[in-house]
Amino acid sequence: MRNRSVSIIFGSLILWAVATYFLFLDQQSVGKDQDKDKLANQISRLEKQVKQQIIINQELLEGINENKRLKKEYERINAALQLKDDTEKNKDKKHEVNKNKSILLQKIESKNKKILENEQEPTQDTILSTEGTHNTPLRQKLPDGSPIIAILVVSCNRITVERCLNQLIKLRPSKEQFPIVVSQDCDHRQTADVIARYGNQLLHIKQPDQSDIEIPPKEKKFRGYFKIARHYKWALNQVFLKLGYSTAIIVEDDLDVAPDFYEYFLGTYPLLVNDSSLWCVSAWNDNGKAGLVDEHAPHLLYRTDFFPGLGWMLTRDLWLELAPKWPKSYWDDWIRQPEQRKNRACIRPEISRTRTFGKLGVSNGLFFEKHLKYIKLNEQFVPFTKMNLSYLLKDNYDIAFVNQVYQSTVVSYSELKSGNIVAPGPVRIPYYTRQSFKNTTKLLGLMDDFRSGVPRSGYRGVVTFFYNGRRVHLAPSANWSGYDITWS
């Protein structure tokens, strides 16, 4: 019994040991599975945390970049504000200096007025102080409301500029109303000496750029036209942008002027600034030769589609329009192109208020011997400022002009020349082709060329002149529809 109990106990122990062993193995397996699950969960949580951290880092990076951008923007704005403050301070200081300088110059000018007016050999200091008074004109109009119109004399190497300047100074009614600015190119010492002798009667400025100009090989012989265009641009910028004038009359250094030169431009000034269909007033009649104008009608004025030049008035607004596209050469033909003219017209006189005496120049006397030297210069004073010139406004002018032209009697050249015309009043000679126009103009002594399809002195295709005691219209058909640029 005892042995059996021992056996049972021993067997139970063995069974317990075996059961414990398998139980232990089972628990270890479960532990491993739990560890795997735990590890997987930890990896999953870590992955999520990494992703979240990446997102956070990106947001932080973007925030840093935005802060940098904002900081730069802030610094830029702050610098701009600082610059503005400095500029305003400088302006205030400059204004105060200019104010004090202006008062001082007025005192000096008042004290030495008689000396300056009579001085024939001005010192360099006098010229510089005079130039300073022109730099910033205080008014564009006189106290009585009259316009201030600058006279820009374009000069180069002609000492005969003296002839032009003497007339301009002698005839001008007011130094304050018509300040003369002589712009000199070419750096010609003798011409500069002549201009300097006028002292404070004018402002002498010099075109600083005397460098060579790049010119296409085929146009080397036209170098002068390139220099003239460059000079005009610089000079007009000086008059309108630096000196601040709102209106100017351009005069070449080889022009004589009529006794009523200033009166003519004063009288037509209101037309130019009030009629948007006008863009210049010219003192020149391209067909103004003696025998082709009515010398008893110096008061007559016309509209013309052809830009005449040779003493012409323009506004600063027009210059601001033209300056950005100003050509490198042949500026006068360029300005006659449709893109510049834009269907605008100029005022021109029956009898010219200027006449050229410059035979020699960049054109080598072109047209001078044959035509220019015969231009009639007006000798009578016409009180244009006291006349009603509203008939020259487009709405008034076009109706009356068309009626006069196309209601006039049609005649031939032979009838006009012989004077065998019974009907009174103006007459008309028709033309229908470019060649017929040229044939007739040569017979009459008119200029026969076209620029951008427009004949000289023409308006609506009509060239008006005076011949053998008659007002004559060389005119296209009544249904004329515009200029043909191929006629040039």
Q: Which residues are catalytic?
A: 332
> In this structure, are residues 183 and 234 in contact, taking their beta carbons and an 8 Å threshold?
yes
Return d(Cα 467, Cα 293) in angstroms, integer. 7
Return d(Cα 346, Cα 350) in angstroms, integer. 13
Closest among 92, 367, 380, 134 to 263, alpha carbons compared: 380
> In this structure, are residues 259 and 380 in contact, taking their beta carbons and an 8 Å threshold?
yes
Helix axes 261-274, 161-171, angle to 10 degrees: 80
For residue 327, give both structure tokens. Answer: 């050509």
Closest among 287, 232, 283 to 257, alpha carbons compared: 283
List of residues 6+ apart from 453 with CB closer than 8 A: 483, 484, 485, 486, 487, 488
Q: For residue 350, with 0-12 CB atoms within 10 Å meaning exposed, 13-18 middle and 19 or more buried, which class applies?
A: buried
Helix axes 189-196, 161-171, angle to 10 degrees: 20
The phi and psi torsions of 282 (rounded to 5 degrees) equal -115, 145
What is the full DSSP assignment across 411-459? --HHHHHHT---S-S-EEEE--SHHHHHHHHHHHT----EETTEETT-B
Return d(Cα 8, Cα 20) in angstroms, integer. 18
> In this structure, are residues 470 and 424 in contact, taking their beta carbons and an 8 Å threshold?
no
DSSP assignment, residue 240?
A: I
Return d(Cα 275, Cα 278) in angstroms, integer. 6
Return d(Cα 307, Cα 317) in angstroms, integer. 17
What is the full DSSP assignment across 466-477? EETTEEEEEE--
The greatest distance separating any two alpha carbons of the chain, rounded to the nearest whole angstrom, comes to 181
Q: How many of the other CB atoms lie within 10 Å of CB of 231?
A: 20
The phi and psi torsions of 279 (rounded to 5 degrees) equal -130, 0
> In this structure, are residues 376 and 320 in contact, taking their beta carbons and an 8 Å threshold?
no
Return d(Cα 467, Cα 469) in angstroms, integer. 5
